[in-house]
Amino acid sequence: MKTIQHWINGSPADGTDTAPVFNPATGAEQARVVLGSAADVDAAVTAAARAFETWSESSLTQRTQVMFAFRQLLVEHEEELGRIISAEHGKTVDDARGEITRGREVVEFACGLGDVLKGSFSDQVSRGIDVHNFRQPLGVVAGITPFNFPAMVPLWMHPMAIATGNTFILKPSERDPSAANFVADLYKQAGLPDGVFNVVHGGKDAVDAILTHPGIEAVSFVGSTPIAKYVHETATSHGKRVQALGGAKNHAVVLPDADLEFAANHITAGAYGSAGERCMAVAVAVAVGDAADRLAGILERKAREVKVGPGDTPGTEMGPLVTKAAQERVENAVGTAATQGATVVVDGRGLKVDGHEEGFFTGPSLLDHVTTDMDAYKEELFGPVLAIVRADSLDQAIDLINANPYGNGTALFTASGEAARRFQRNIHVGMIGINVPVPVPMSYYSFGGWKDSLIGDNPIHGPEGIRFYTRPKVVTTRWPQQAQQVSAGFNFPTSN
């Protein structure tokens, strides 16, 4: 059986312990992945620190040229990488290609680094004195990423870090690790020097070694909220700069004036696409006023139409869940919802896909009359379960969303500009869609939620990403002419 190895200093590197990697569509173990130890992390830090000595001295032109070449390779290998992702994650190949495209956009942003990284200059702030600033890389930085976007989420991080002159260690999810090694090879083909991009596989041991290693300057994390809190606390207490993005429970509000067919279409895709395993998935439809019964009827029809099957079969709209444990957790949650009084309008439990009876499939589930005290509302289910909650007014819907501990994404479906403006100004959520169900910002904006969806205050990519992976210097300069010697004062310097 194939063993997926680390990638350190430009080459595959072995490990001792291994864990299984499954094909979610068949339920079969298809590979083993090495589980990194503290020694493996240390080897990666040593390689990355050595590479930093030269990479941080390379020119902006050289760094962006690597990014241009890397971007082209991502285009050429999109189908291949999409199939690798689909085989380990379960999502459809087209959906995987979508995540590669959105990740590639961050590379494109990094290609324009020359403009974004420009400092500023102030002439003659005092007589004969000018001030300018510029930013420099941090050193060795690390990224710890979740299973649900094995290409895109790491791509939110490493192009930004590498283009700004840092060297990078990726610790991807142990459930779908192959995309990371594929990307490492593309970087090598693009001309990135060895040691600038490294991959250490594994779970908690590898993560803990990263969080506490004195040679790592900054840690970027994306995953569930409890682990985001742990990572933030541990890494900051070890003196590191931290980005820590957590979980989500995203609401889509539907007002009675919305085109309900349009709203239901988009909510269905946002809820069941990638089997609900997206941090921006629509988990709750908040139906306002008399939109509720009509919306519920259309959502039911659309949920029943979703085509479930293996991710590599053309025509499939929704694949399996990532693991058997995830399948069981989601199906138990639907059972608990029924026990707690929700109406199970569409029941996805027990779905069998012909020829793939051992796959980790569950069908789309639609729950109606869900209330905010039910587990189905409170927990992040991270599966194909859409809950309908009813509200009397837009203001009540806003209050409901603001009371939720998460604040990643949200959407409003309406024909009213006034309602849209009130919603976007009053909602306590970081990423908002108006008639857009999954409002993932473009790479030149930053990505990040509020409240428990982002621990600390560092969003990811865009201008915030540049700031995160660099630190500023401000230089105050005087070049006195011999004839104009200025006397030195003992008082604190002020302008004149």
233 in the Ramachandran plot: left (φ > 0), alpha (ψ -120 to 50) or beta?
alpha
Minimum separation from the CB atom of position 269 to ligand NAD (A): 18
Minimum separation from the CB atom of position 225 to ligand NAD (A): 7
Look up residue 418 and give its two tokens. Answer: 């006034």
Residues 6+ apart with CB under 8 A from 482: none
Q: Is 316 in the site for ligand NAD (CB under 6 A)?
A: no
Q: Is 279 in the site for ligand NAD (CB under 6 A)?
A: yes
Q: Which of 7, 272, 361, 382 binds ligand NAD (CB under 6 A)?
A: 382
Minimum separation from the CB atom of position 279 to ligand NAD (A): 3
Minimum separation from the CB atom of position 254 to ligand NAD (A): 23
Minimum separation from the CB atom of position 174 to ligand NAD (A): 5
Closer to ligand NAD at the Cβ: 171 or 390?
171
Cβ(36)–Cβ(15) under 8 Å? yes
Residues facing residue 132 across a β-bridge = 121, 475
263, with CB counted inside 10 A (0-12, 13-18, 19+), is buried
Q: Is 330 in the site for ligand NAD (CB under 6 A)?
A: no
Give Cα separations from 129 to 118, 285, 401, 472 (angstroms): 20, 59, 52, 20
Q: Is 170 in the site for ligand NAD (CB under 6 A)?
A: no
Work out the number of other CB atoms within 10 angstroms of the CB of residue 190: 19
Give Cα separations from 140 to 39, 166, 188, 228, 415 (angstroms): 16, 6, 18, 20, 49
Site for ligand NAD in 457-476 (CB under 6 A): none
Interaction mask 425-454, ligand NAD, x per CB under 6 A: ------------------------x---x-
Q: Is 174 in the site for ligand NAD (CB under 6 A)?
A: yes
Closer to ligand NAD at the Cβ: 55 or 447?
447
d(CA 207, CA 280): 24
Closer to ligand NAD at the Cβ: 140 or 381?
381
Site for ligand NAD in 221-250 (CB under 6 A): 222-224, 227, 245-248
Select from 108, 94, 26 the least CA-distant residue to 64: 108
Q: Is 279 a catalytic residue?
A: yes
Closer to ligand NAD at the Cβ: 79 or 328?
328
Among residues 279, 292, 374, 454, the one annotated as catalytic is 279
Q: Which of 12, 27, 193, 203 binds ligand NAD (CB under 6 A)?
A: 203
Closer to ligand NAD at the Cβ: 176 or 317?
176
Q: Which of 153, 260, 295, 397 binds ligand NAD (CB under 6 A)?
A: 153
Which span sits near ligand NAD by CB under 6 A: 115-123, 202-210, 289-297, 413-421? 202-210
Select from 294, 291, 303 the least CA-distant residue to 267: 303
For 80, phi then psi, to 5°, come to: -65, -45
Closer to ligand NAD at the Cβ: 381 or 391?
381
d(CA 363, CA 307): 9
For 53, phi then psi, to 5°, come to: -55, -40
| 18-23, strands of its sheet edge to edge | 2-4, 28-34, 18-23
Active site residues: 279
What is the contact surface with ligand NAD in residues (CB under 6 A)? Answer: 144-149, 153, 171, 173-174, 203-204, 207, 222-224, 227, 245-248, 279, 380, 382, 408, 449, 453
